[in-house]
Amino acid sequence: MRQYSVLEQRLLNDFQHGLSLSPTPYADLAEELGVDESTVLENLDKLQQEGVVSRVGAVFKPNRVGVSTLAAVAVPESELQSVAEIINGFDEVNHNYERHHHFNLWFVVTASDSEHLRSALQEIEQRCGYAVLDLPMEEDFFIDLGFELRWT
């Protein structure tokens, strides 16, 4: 397992919440960390390329900006990785995960409007070759996905 620099540790742990809403959020991070903006961007890019960070950006309450849905597919275990890669290739998909269930690959799709959302779900279904179960939100729950990381 690779060792993370102090800067990487701080980026991964200290900034899971509260990204500045200013026109220069990365410069604001850099100032707080005592480095320049390009150093922050280079480190975040490296962490994303390594798969440590999937995305950096705002999280909005569902359906406040555009529309979204939870979706799932039932995929044979032998095809799970390749189907997940296809799904991850869609700009509208912000994350997916495996579950131990008949529907074993779940993902969230976000789009600008309902028509775009339906189109994305249909295209995912066509490219994957498996029926997509659309599970629109009925009740809003907020789950904080920030976790304190311990560096031992």
pLDDT of residue 151: 74
Alpha-helical (H) ranges within 15-131 are 25-33, 37-49, 80-88, 114-128
Place of tokens 């961007």: 41
Which pLDDT score, from 0 to 100, does residue 140 have?
72
Instruction: Compute the CA torsion angle 62, 67, 70, 71 (nearest 10 deg).
Output: -170
Q: Which residue has the higher pLDDT, 147 or 143?
A: 147
Average pLDDT value for the chain: 89
Q: Does residue 50 register a pLDDT over 80?
A: yes
Paired tokens of 9: 């540790």
Q: What is the mean pLDDT of residues 37-43?
A: 96
For the segment 54-100, what is each residue's pLDDT rounded down to a tens digit? 878 776 666 667 889 999 999 999 999 999 999 999 999 988 899 99
Q: What CA–CA distance (Å, rounded) separates 138 from 121? A: 18
* All domains of the chain in start order, with CATH: 6-49 (no CATH), 67-135 (3.30.70.3460)
**What kind and span of H or E run contains 93?**
strand 93-98
Q: For residues 75 and 105, is the Cβ–Cβ distance under 8 A?
A: yes
pLDDT for 136 equals: 87
